[in-house]
Each structure stands twice: as structure tokens, then as C-alpha cells.
Amino acid sequence: MDDQILDDQARSDIPQDFSKPEPVWKNFIKKNKVIIASALAVVLIIGIFWFFLSRSSTSNPPQSQNVILLVKGPNQITSGNEAEYTVVYRNGENADLVGVSLEMLYPTGFKFKSATPAPASSTGSSFNLPILKQGEDGTVVIRGKLSGSTSEEKEIRARLNYRLSNFNSEFVVSESIHTTILAPNLVLDINGPVDVVNGQDTTFSVTITNVSGNQFENLAIQLVFPVGFSFTSSTIRATKNNNYWVLGLLETGNSQSLDITGSFTGADREEKLVRADLGQIISNNFAPQIVSTASFRVIPSSLALTITAQPQSYVKLGDTITYKLAYMNRGSIGLSNLVIDVTLNGPVLELSRVSASNAIINGSQLTWKAATLSNLSILSPNERGEITFTVPLKQQLTSNLKNQTIRASASISSDEITNPTRAGDSELKLISNLDLSITGDYVSGAAPMQVGQTTVFAMTLLLSNLSNDLINTEVVASIPLPSSAWKNVIIPDSESGRLSYDPNSGKIKWKIGDLVAFTGKFTPALKVTFQLAVTPTESDRGKTMTLLSDLFATGTDTFVNQIIESVKTSLVTVTSINDEVMNLKGTSVE
């Protein structure tokens, strides 16, 4: 279409390179593009920073006011020594805590040693914890060495993460504790193998070093061994109980070592904790000052042995214990010429009546070997065997020892494994025994007994106890007579506060409480007398009157932690009291 605005002359006057001018804003951008780019970059950085800041502030788990976290430990400790911190967490919510985990943040200078329960990491920085029911508490105990400059303050922080069983959000609660470092004086260490073979002797060392400028005298060390540890020997003779040593003087800069040999028995991979307390003897008393611990992990032995007993936890005089030895070759090669040794210990054992087939018996020592039991000649891989034997107990005590135990120790070896493997000791407690007797004496009134006439009897209870202390001891009996039969005459008068009669139930109760061991053996038996006034009715004519029924004593054995009961007397009659007057006059109602 022809241009109707410009004619040909005007069109020819326009330059060929002419173009429309650019907008002003584009020129501005071109001239200031560096400044604009810088401004946009600043805005972008601010936006990114704000995004992450707001995101992090909103991603922190909420905190609950009803879950409490507490960290307990020493306020001060000498540098280089061991500290124990206890983390306690309490569920005050109305729901269970699930997905529970504990994070620990340790300061520089802290060397983690062990924890109960075991941590999820070797550094002890994280723990996966079980479900915590509402209203219950949980505990984590952490042990480690803490070192630092004198007067330096160390902070240990704990963070508990969890969810509620009825709510899906994550919650967190935090707590910390501060410990101030004191100048070092004595350093205590326990060193030994991390892994110990189940039942085989191992040796670990306890070392004390004086890093102060002063000498220390009257030093002593006490060890606490775990369940399943059996002491064999030590390089310094134990002062008492194979766990306490008096060391004497330790000069400045000197060290002293104590080597302990013994065996650990337990489940595979079970951790066994040994604790050492170092202190001084002050006024003939051991005053512990510093502590050190070491954890040993039990690994299986190629030659395994266990010893079990029936009954399993406690026995009484006259019982017979049945022991079972179970042995097994857990290795990959056959074992030959096995030897099994058992040592029995306990003053109530009737060793002369031990029954053990194919055993060589020498007093309290029992030995089985290939020469006496052919099954011990060869034990192939994964092969196992059993041996049983019985040991009777004496009918009566022959010593005045309280809280007696019966212990059986066993070990096994072979030509290939000469270092004996010990079984965990079998230990049974001797339970005490309550003996209650009743006697009756004619006091006054009709003899023989007459219908409608009253006869007075004095009833005497005699209570004795065997080898262990008892608590909550009481005697109970029923009086199958009218309440008027109770005369409320109690001898001695000192027992009137403990012996009572309830007319509603028709029962008497003698509330003794604590009853020491050997009452009635090495000290007089406990005794009380009360009177009954018995008036027969016509329905009693020709019969023997019952004075008491269901008579027995109970108490809680503090050593065995079991309730024991005397033999129950069902009926106490005029005939059974065997009174001289009534036997002469007649025991039936006339």
C-alpha cells in the first residue's frame, strides 16, 4: 500500500541509516548497569539470608514444660581424674515418650570411658533410649576423665529429643552442668584389655600416680567388681575381702601399680564395669577421694561351661541341692582329655553324703576327667554334654554364722585349652526358720471342766528364729470361744503393747516386728503368756474344748527377702496342751 503521508521527495530526504530513538529508561540502564546489578545482588543476598533465618527459627522443635531433664555430677574435680554424670529425664506428660534420644556435648579435655546404658556412638555423644511411660523416669550414667587448667570451668550439655505417642511433632529439652577443674594431686587409672574371654583369667592394672608436690600416706584402694567376676590373685596381697588394699606412703612423682587377675563370666558382648576408689585411712576409716572405672566386654570362649542349681535361689536346712554342669565345644577343632573341677563351699553342706557319679571326690573338691568319664576323652566341635550331682544339707546348724551362702565354683580345661574356663558361680542363700510352740497350764476353776462353770488356762507362746534377721514378724491365732474368754491378762507386762485381741474377728495378734538371728539358740526365745477363761455349754458336754486354732508365725527374711512362715497348728485343745492337772482330772467336759 502506498504511503499517503510522505511524497516521493520527502521520502528520499530521509537518511537511509535512520532508526527510531531508544526509550529513556533503556539508556538509563545502559549507563548505570553496574550500579543496578550491585543493588540487585544485595537484595538477593538479603532475601536468601532472611529465608534461611526464618526457616531455622521455625524448625527448632517445641519444648515441653512437662518433661524434665536433669544433669547431676561433681561441682569440682581434680584435673585428670574420672567423673560420673547422671542424666535423669522424667515424663510428666499424659502420654508415653517415643523416639527418645539423648545427645551429649562434651567440653575439650573430656575423655569418654563408658556409660549405662551403652551409647549409640563410641564417643558417648548419642544414646537411643527406650519408650518412657507416662509418669516414669529414665536414667543415663556417663563416666569419663576430665582434664583442664586449674580453676577452668567445664560445661557438659544434654539434649533430649522425643515425640509424644499421641502427637507427631518433635520435642526437645536441654540442660547443662558446670564442673570446675582443681589442681591435680593423685591420678588413678585402670588399664586392661577391652575384650575378655568368658570364664578365662585376665589381668588388669590399677595405677596410682602422685602428681602433686606433697607425699601421701595411709593410702588405700577399694575395688568394686561386677556380678560374674571371680577373683584369682593380685600382685599385692589383699588386706581384706580380696577387694581392699592398704598401700601406705606414695612419694611425690612416684607411681604404684596393683595387678588383678580374675575371670569375667556373662552373656556374649556383655559389658562388665570395674570401679576403683582411692582414698586415705583417716581415724581407721577409709575415706574415698577419687574414682576410676573400666569397662570390659565379654567374648565367648571356645570351651564353655555353666553350672546351675535346683533350688535356684535359696535353700533351707535338710534340703538336697541338685547341680547340673553343662559343657560345650564352641570352637572349630576337637578337644581332648577334658577336665572339669568343682569346688563346694558352705558350712551347712553335708559333704560326706555328696552323690557324684564318675567323680573323684576329695572333701569339697570334685573332679571329672577322661579316666573316670569316657565322654570327656574327645569333644567334637559343637558337641555338648551334661553332668549332674547332688549335695544334701545338714539338718541343724553347727555354727553361729549369719546370712550363710552355699557356693559352687566350676572350671573346665583340655589338652588344647590349658587355661581353665570358669563357669559363673552358683550361689544359694540359706533361708531362716521360724519355730513356734504353744503350751497351756491349768490356773483355776473347774477340773475336770463342767458345763456352766469356768476354767482358766494360761497359754504360753514360745518363738525362736534361726540364722537370719527378720522384720515384720507376728504371730496370729484364732480363739473359737466367746469374746468373754479373753481375760486381757498378759505376762510379761512389757508384751501387753504388742499382743492384742480383736473381739470382732476373734483373733489374737502378737506383733513382734524385728526378730534377730539365733533368737532361741544363742539368746532366749521370745515368750508371752495370756489367759483364757473357758465356760462350756451344754453342747460341749462329753467333748474336748478347743482353745486356739490356726496358730502360726510369719516374718520377712532380710537376707533372702522372702516371707517365711512357721508350721501351722490347726487346733490347740485341752488334751493337746498336755497339762498335768487336766490329764489327771480328765480333759472332757462333764
pTM beyond 0.85: the answer is no
Ramachandran bin of 396, using left for φ above 0, alpha for ψ from -120 to 50, beta for the remaining angles: beta
The answer as to whether 458 is a domain residue is yes
- The DSSP secondary structure of 263-314, one letter per residue, reads EE--STT-EEEEEEEEEEEETTEEEEEEEEEEEEEEE--SEEEEEEEESSSE
Instruction: Say yes or no: 454 and 512 in one domain.
Output: yes
Instruction: Say yes or no: 441 and 535 in one domain.
Output: yes
Instruction: Say yes or no: 486 and 424 in one domain.
Output: no
Give me the pLDDT at residue 564, please.
96
- Of 182, 200, 233, the one marking the end of a domain is 182
Instruction: Say yes or no: 444 and 576 in one domain.
Output: yes
The answer as to whether 266 is a domain residue is yes
Instruction: Say yes or no: 422 and 445 in one domain.
Output: no
The answer as to whether 416 is a domain residue is yes
Give me the pLDDT at residue 31, please.
58
Give me the pLDDT at residue 4, please.
45
The answer as to whether 124 is a domain residue is yes
Q: How many domains does the chain have?
A: 5
The CATH number assigned to the domain holding 476 equals 2.60.40.1170
Instruction: Say yes or no: 267 and 323 in one domain.
Output: no
Instruction: Say yes or no: 581 and 440 in one domain.
Output: yes
The answer as to whether 132 is a domain residue is yes
Instruction: Say yes or no: 176 and 204 in one domain.
Output: no
Given a cut of 50, the residues of the chain with pLDDT beneath it are 1-7, 9-11, 13-20, 25, 51-59
- Beta strands 244-250 and 216-224 are antiparallel
The answer as to whether 530 is a domain residue is yes
The CATH number assigned to the domain holding 194 equals 2.60.40.10
Instruction: Say yes or no: 172 and 203 in one domain.
Output: no
Range of the domain at 216: 186-299
The answer as to whether 111 is a domain residue is yes
Give me the pLDDT at residue 503, please.
95
Query: At 41, which helix (H) or strand (E)?
Result: helix 33-59
Instruction: Say yes or no: 46 and 99 in one domain.
Output: no
Please give the Cα distance from 563 to 422 (Å, whole number): 34
Which residues, 6+ apart, have CB-to-CB distance to 581 below 8 Å?
442, 447
- Of 430, 457, 481, the one marking the end of a domain is 430
| Omega cis (within 30) before 130 | no
Helix (H, G, I), strand (E, B) or coil at 330: coil
What's the one-letter identity of residue 547? L
Q: What is the length of the chain?
A: 590
Instruction: Say yes or no: 197 and 93 in one domain.
Output: no
What's the DSSP call for residue 484? G
The answer as to whether 107 is a domain residue is yes
The CATH number assigned to the domain holding 364 equals 2.60.40.740
> Of 192, 211, 224, 220, whose CA–CA distance to 251 is shortest?
211
Q: Which three cell numbers stand for residue 95?
A: 502420654
The CATH number assigned to the domain holding 174 equals 2.60.40.1530
Instruction: Say yes or no: 105 and 172 in one domain.
Output: yes
- Of 413, 430, 447, the one marking the end of a domain is 430
Please give the Cα distance from 357 to 511 (Å, whole number): 49
